[in-house]
Amino acid sequence: MILLFSTVSNCGDEKKEKTQELAEKGGGEEQLYRPNFHFTPKNNWMNDPNGMFYLDGAYHLFFQYYPDDNVWGPMHWGHAVSKDLVNWDEKEIALFPDSLGYIFSGSAVVDQLNTSGFGNGTIPPVISIFTYHDPKGEQEDRIDFQYQAIAFSNDKGESWTKYEGNPVLPNPGIKDFRDPKVVWDARRQQWVMALATYSETYFYGSKDLKSWSFLSSFGKDLGAHGGVWECPDLFPMRVTGSEETKWVLIQSLNPGSANGGSGTQYFIGDFDGKTFSLDPDFKNQLDQHKAIWLDFGRDNYAGVTWSNIPKEDGRTLFIGWMSNWDYAQVVPTETWRSAMTIARELILEKDSLGYKLKSIPAREFMDHVNYKPEQRNLEIDGPFKIAGPVEANLSNAVIEISFKTDTKANYTFELSNDFGNILKFGLDNQKQSLFIDRQNSGKTEFSQKFASSISYGQLRKMEGELELLIILDKTSIELFAEGGGTVMTEIFFPDEPMTHLTLTASDNTLVIKSVAVGQLER
């Protein structure tokens, strides 16, 4: 094992030189593709968000990180901090691989009661819970090469000490045994860990974060199973407008998503301190749809929620990795790879169709948007120009639009540039779905899977009117319809910045109730 990590380190020196060379000649790439407001690492590879917690006015975001190349490699935990969920300050690497393995995904909690005993009596300790991935064990074809470990911080996440008793949860003989997400179950006064185990979620309980006992499993023959289950997240939520509380289980999988590759489904139910059981109404929804998706787009994966959000705030805040394992390692950015979605608030609602976990932009994000005067009550024959280069910077834009829809017509937005790149999205009434078509959006040849088909997101209701929130960065689109009930997130790589946005109805008749174009001001 020591030799293995020594080899990685030596190779890293060469890769750092390569990264520096790319950075020196990457100015054009930076200008064209580096997002304006989505978090990206300064250099090299990033994937899953990890260890997210809030403490003393700061949101902490850790993430899977390989500092020596722009493709996946021996995993570390990178670290960034924000006061407003928009402006991020990237910190030094938080956790490094060691003789027990790479540092795979996990979570972090603020141990307010010092149940772990790691506190020093002044501030509550922060405990990170993560998976060790032993590459030597994997190479030897063992199945027990993943196990759970912890580290603690007594300076609010700035530095970490790995627990000398690691691993705290040995592998019971399961090949895929990873991504621990821990939550405090106040009613039972216990910590609960949700853990991905190939095609199920296992739950473990602990009083001190160091000794864990198996509670139950969930997921066999439920939901989507086209790939490996990863990055679970279990948490309670109040149902909007009621006194009812339900438990939500977010469960990513790869491949097997709604539109191919990586995706994130969810389940609604109850947790009794040992077992997570589906709500009967949600079970009926699941029987009808087979899987219920948090985001229908191809580029929102492995997302999880922040811990320790103050009770007076009360929100459930979420962020996801804005990429897809189908092509993440070959997208045309050479000095860094991947971004996160914008931070989102999750909202649990129930209506005549059942439960729905909605996601909307965090209010901190929307507070940074400066809108131009709204246009209202427009009737247009032919294409409607929403914005051009004079009206807005469409590489940094937020558009809110509401328009009437006819069941016999389709509605297509075209985001384009003078180079001829076009990203199409809109409403397909025949499929009762939103859609995103990036087949002609710019660079697509880097992967056959990137733009081989149109993505669709099923709407819950067709009510004769569509309200859309559209968030555009240089290389991404995030669509929110039905108040966050139907969401799509996708990336694209134009040959030059997109500068025009139009809306066209297939019957050439548009009735725009309102439209507002804004820019994010940081």
Catalytic residues: 48
Strands 336-337 and 44-55: parallel
In Å, how far from its chain's centre is CA 370?
Answer: 25
Identity (one letter) of the amino acid at 209?
A: L
Q: Which of 354, 262, 365, 286 is nearest to 318 (CA)?
A: 365
**Cα angle value 298/474/382 (rounded, 5°):** 85
Separation in Å, CA 95 to CA 103, 232, 508? 7, 21, 56
Q: How far apart are the C-alpha atoms of 488 and 491, rounded to whole Å?
A: 10
Q: How far apart are the C-alpha atoms of 519 and 294, rounded to whole Å?
A: 26
Q: How far apart are the C-alpha atoms of 478 and 388, rounded to whole Å?
A: 19
Q: Which of 174, 92, 78, 172 is nearest to 130 (CA)?
A: 78
**Where on the phi/psi map is residue 68: left (φ > 0), alpha (ψ -120 to 50), or beta?**
alpha
Q: How far apart are the C-alpha atoms of 477 and 436, rounded to whole Å?
A: 9
Q: How far apart are the C-alpha atoms of 139 and 133, rounded to whole Å?
A: 11
Q: Which of 250, 368, 353, 299 is nearest to 47 (CA)?
A: 299
> What burial class does residue 31 get, using C-beta atoms within 10 Å of its C-beta: 0-12 exposed, 13-18 middle, 19+ buried?
exposed
The answer to whether residues 410 and 428 touch, using CB atoms and an 8 Å cutoff, is yes
Residue 294 in tokens: 């948090």
DSSP secondary structure, 341-410, as one string:
PPPEEEEEEEETTEEEEEEEE-HHHHHTEEEPPPEEEEEEES-EEEE-TTT--TTEEEEEEEEE--TT--
